[in-house]
Amino acid sequence: MAGADPRDLLLRCALSNAVKHGGVPQAGAVIGMVMGANPELRSRAKEVSALAKDVISEVAALSPEDRRRKLSEIAPEMLAALSEKHEHKKVLPELEDAGKGVVMRFAPNPSGPLHIGHARAAALNDAYVKMYGGRYILRIEDTDPKRVDPEAYDTVAGDIRWLGLGITETVYQSDRLTLYYDLCRQLIEKGGAYVCTCDNERFKELKMARQACPCRDQPVEQNLALWEKMLAHGFREGEVTVRIKTDLLHPDPAMRDFPAFRVLDSPPHPRKPGAFVYPLMNFSVVADDHLLGVTHVIRGKDHIANTRRQRYIYDHFGWKVPVYRHYGRMGIEGVVLSTSQMRLGIKEGTYSGWDDIRLGTLRALARRGILPEAVKNAMLAIGIGETDISFSWDNLYAENKKIVDPVANRYFFVPDPMTATIHGAHPVVSRLLLHPADEKRGVRTLAFSGNVLLPAAELADRTRTLIRLKDLFNVAIEHDHGRPHIAFAGDSLADARAAKAPIIQWLPAGAEVPCTLRTPEGDLAGVCEAGVQQELSKVVQFERVGFAKIDAVTDDGIIAYFTHK
């Protein structure tokens, strides 16, 4: 960069700093980067410092996506260095046998919308595909019609789009039934599977006794005939099962001749209403991982037993086994994640829908103003360690704050407002920055003329004698006769700080807009600045309250959803 224009150097470094840390670039760090790489500019330090102020304001006004895009345009090598060092290798351990690229998959069931628990596998696989290059398959595992919600096909697709995964192709297992049937026939011919017509309870007794059922030693021809009978709907539900031959002496009974296919008479499959023979998960997963060329599988420790079962199928076919990585369980508290509980709650009116902010769905997070990049960053920070952990909501909020803080305009929200007259104060217009780090974004004006709206809770503390109205002046409070008497007490912020007076939000009486702030704990009624009406679908910061996403603007007022502090 030596010899380049100082402003261009500052812009590159400011963008790099902002992308690296997910926030407003720091002047000292930016100037240090420029001076360190270009010592000839040290004699022009004052000029560089003056330029830095304008450049940092320019970068602060950009969205995180625009910063990354602009850095890619003017300094792609700096973005590549950040991606290499900070996004992947510093967070995620390397995968073995990945030098030539990877093929990975995210495989949800269409039983309901995706939730925060799904995001871990989705984000980790996505990061590894970006890290090594390759394909990322979205595989909809819908071969159990009892677990399929027809509406979930669209909701899952929408959740995937919101999360911003780099999906290269999408497959539906229900479209691949004939492939599974053909492979089952081949496996029977190889002697690796058989058709079992034993009563389920009797088979379980034999399995626990480490004994073969009578069907296990049937000739291949007989098994093939029974398989064709299955496909012709010659058996009803519960009468027949295709089983994989394993080790009957295996210490884990669940490994002994586990099921691969079954007949389900109802409910009809929403995409394949004529189907009735379905593969179970362990068979369809192996079939698709092989046929689709999946090279690496990242999933939770709860699938370790399935990995062991699936190796039997790989061995029977002589197929190469993918590289498996199993991460520890992630406990998530504070929200409802069970699809059945959510569906029941919606039906009974407990929840307003899949995006009710008391739920843990991605839709609920989006409605609150949690951004997909924050979700992915939080999951990458957790990584693929085998240790069980508890998910930290605070970590997610911290990741989200890095993104929204530089772009969220500031406003006042006054909960449970109380009208108060400020005695002895002259009319004044307060001009407040929309964003404290970006003067170019403009100001908002609040015209004080005598009466203000204050949070009732702030006036309920009878021990308080001095309060600072933010960006306005100090007021003294007396509680002699029930209702507080409030009087002008000077402009000095230093006096307020010396007295440890709380600094509170306020609004001119008559200039407010009704606003309801919805939180997981319940609604908070209040009022806010009129300018909030221009922030529909955006995240703002209600000063002293927290970040909030503006969900609706109507003639009756504003509905906002609390995001986090």
What would the mean pLDDT of 531-553 be, rounded to a whole number? Answer: 97
What would the mean pLDDT of 545-561 be, rounded to a whole number? Answer: 97
Residues 43 and 514: their CA atoms lie apart, in Å, by 55
**Among the ranges given (8-17, 50-59, 389-398, 477-486), the one the predictor scored with the smallest mean pLDDT:** 477-486
What would the mean pLDDT of 307-331 be, rounded to a whole number? Answer: 97
Q: pLDDT digit string (tens) for 119-159?
A: 999 999 999 999 999 999 999 999 999 999 999 999 999 99
pLDDT-above-90 percentage for the chain: 80
What would the mean pLDDT of 456-480 be, rounded to a whole number? Answer: 91
- Strand bridging mode 296-300 / 323-327: parallel
Residue 2 has pLDDT above 60, yes or no: no
Domain range 175-281, its CATH number among 3.40.50.1980, 3.40.1280.10, 3.90.800.10, 3.40.50.300: 3.90.800.10
Mean pLDDT of the chain: 93
Q: Where residue 86 falls among pLDDT bands split at 50, 70, 90? A: very low
Residues 239 and 1: their CA atoms lie apart, in Å, by 75
> Where in the sequence of the chain do the CATH 2.40.240.10 domains occur?
409-565
Select from 10, 2, 1, 9 the least CA-distant residue to 54: 10
Q: Where residue 87 falls among pLDDT bands split at 50, 70, 90? A: very low
Q: Where residue 265 falls among pLDDT bands split at 50, 70, 90? A: very high
Residue 83 has pLDDT above 70, yes or no: no
Residue with tokens 């979930």: 152
Answer yes or no: are the C-beta atoms of 427 and 448 closer than 8 Å: yes
> Where in the sequence of the chain do the CATH 3.90.800.10 domains occur?
175-281
Residue 64 has pLDDT above 80, yes or no: no
**Among the ranges given (45-49, 107-111, 211-215), the one the predictor scored with the smallest mean pLDDT:** 45-49
What would the mean pLDDT of 11-20 be, rounded to a whole number? Answer: 86
Predicted pLDDT at 214: 97
Q: pLDDT digit string (tens) for 36-51?
A: 677 677 778 888 888 8
From residue 117, alpha-carbon distances to 17, 161, 290, 333, 504 in Å are 31, 17, 26, 11, 38
Q: Where residue 84 falls among pLDDT bands split at 50, 70, 90? A: low
CB-hemisphere CA count at 13 Å for 240? 24
**Among the ranges given (71-75, 317-321, 560-564), the one the predictor scored with the smallest mean pLDDT:** 71-75
Question: Which fold is adopted by the domain 409-565?
Answer: Ribosomal Protein L25; Chain P (2.40.240)
Residue 363 has pLDDT above 60, yes or no: yes
State the DSSP code for 267. Answer: S
Predicted pLDDT at 89: 40
Q: How far is CA 431 from the centre of its chain?
A: 37
Residues 160 and 166: their CA atoms lie apart, in Å, by 9
First to last CA, the chain: 40
Q: Higher confidence at residue 69 or residue 374? A: 374
Predicted pLDDT at 22: 66
The backbone region for 133, taken as left when phi is positive above 0, alpha when psi lies in -120 to 50, beta otherwise, is left
What would the mean pLDDT of 101-115 be, rounded to a whole number? Answer: 97
Q: What one-letter code names the amino acid at 103?
A: V
Answer yes or no: are the C-beta atoms of 377 and 64 closer than 8 Å: no
